[in-house]
Chains A and B, each alone.
Chain A
């Protein structure tokens, strides 16, 4: 094993030694696995309508019951996981691809670039995230892409800020100024020297933002302006389920339960990862152990 692989392995085992984080990983793995294998392990798919059996309570045929069009709720919850996870992955990617370079440039150069970029970030941050997403959807119309971009943009400020803070703490360190003194270009220095040493807080942010992204996506869907039907989405299911609280009380319970577990799992995982990586840095920073 290379030194890098050994270090990653050490982080993974230490994260998993926390009970909460282990449970979270198990839950997320189970969810990802079932949503990938859904086609083969579930008796129903998420779109087939059956008007002979609408709004059924949980039972032997439909384990979690059926919705107002006779579609299997279990299948819709499982396929809804795909929607949530894909939106989260896409949105976090957008946020990181824009936010990390902003933070990198702002922190590395300082001066007017810093002023300008961070002002832009402040403006983004001055709007409550969901409001910004709503404004964007008002412009772009309701589509999967609009939801993805809207959620993604709300994540830009946190990536920019975290990267900037990390860069500022590294900027005057010897290994960075050395590259500068040896004539390394700013671009090389930023992306090859500073960025590789900033990964851990960014990684933590990726996990935590995934949970935020899933929540915002579900909220938008609940408000009726998220990913358009018939794509199964937990938020959308809660929205329709809410209209049938009297006829089918369990309809709105299951999607919410899975949504809550997903958000809690990602949040727990992110926080544990953050604590483990922080500890590791403290150890690495003590004199004598730095390579």
Chain B
């Protein structure tokens, strides 16, 4: 098992190295000079010089790369151009908000997706199945930002039940306020992932229902509820864990659009703000951080899957 994890970690190295080199090289690919793009058109020569030195762009390229990489590995991405705070702190401040939204959305996705999958898998091809499959297709097809806008229109503008802009309130500090703020964004994202969850789990359930052990269980007179609940569900949930994990990995960076709809102060909005102000150290830090977390969660999911599925040989 340890060997399996180590081998997977080693496989990650080239991916991370190539990606981080790309992210580092980004700043050199900016048409014109990145410094000029950052300080604006009316900057004086001294200002340009100051930013150039601060970013270390006056040193030889290989030295720049080496020092950037060494710092980045330690989680040090330099100072933000805009407010001169360490990029690391800016990112760290946003993590709880994105984490809370991601978890809430996953919860909504599971609550909506699992029943849809189970009901339609038990009666494949029926009217209910077709309706629910249509629902999944709709959940996947409706752009999250439009769904978010519709939810705001209904619950914030018309009914005035919930705020149209969501702040981050920790669920541990003030559960009620946190719930009021997180409900619409979580629903927006949750509906989308529920479509993915439902499609996947339905296919997985249908595959299991065809297996020999199901026929055996039925023929020995086991009630259908036990066949599904105690045998089929357990096996179908196994690959499902992977999908749930992958979606959570996606949420690290994938909440950008939803955060934008609800002006929610998460990691995604930090990145968008960084891009619109051309704050390159912050952009690099955000993207690299999101990438590393994404890749690590993927690894974790793989390991977890190998651990819970005895059929997988990780020797």
Contact = CB atoms under 8 A, between A and B. Distances in A.
A213 to B, nearest CB: 13
B295 to A, nearest CB: 6
A130 B146 contact: no
Contacts of A122: 15
Interface in A238-270: 238, 241-242, 245-246, 249, 252-253, 256, 259-260, 263-264, 267-268
A245 B149 contact: yes
Given A126-B15, A128-B294, A256-B149, A222 B257 contact: yes
A224 B276 contact: yes
Contact of B19 (A123, A218, A223, A246): A123
B254 A245 contact: no
Contact of A131 (B143, B164, B260, B290): B290
Interface residues of A, number: 39
Contacts of B157: 245-246, 249
A225 B19 contact: no
Interface residues of B, number: 47
Contacts of A128: 250, 253-254, 290, 294
B140 to A, nearest CB: 8
B225 to A, nearest CB: 33
Given A134-B271, A256-B149, 6 more contacts: A128-B290, A218-B143, A235-B145, A256-B146, A260-B143, A264-B141
Nearest first, the 8 closest Cβ-Cβ pairs linking A and B are A256-B146, A264-B141, A138-B275, A131-B253, A128-B253, A222-B145, A252-B149, A139-B29
28 contacts: A122-B15, A123-B22, A127-B253, A127-B294, A128-B250, A128-B294, A131-B253, A134-B272, A134-B275, A135-B283, A135-B287, A137-B275, A138-B275, A139-B29, A141-B37, A218-B143, A219-B143, A219-B257, A222-B145, A225-B275, A238-B146, A242-B149, A245-B149, A246-B157, A259-B143, A260-B143, A260-B146, A267-B140
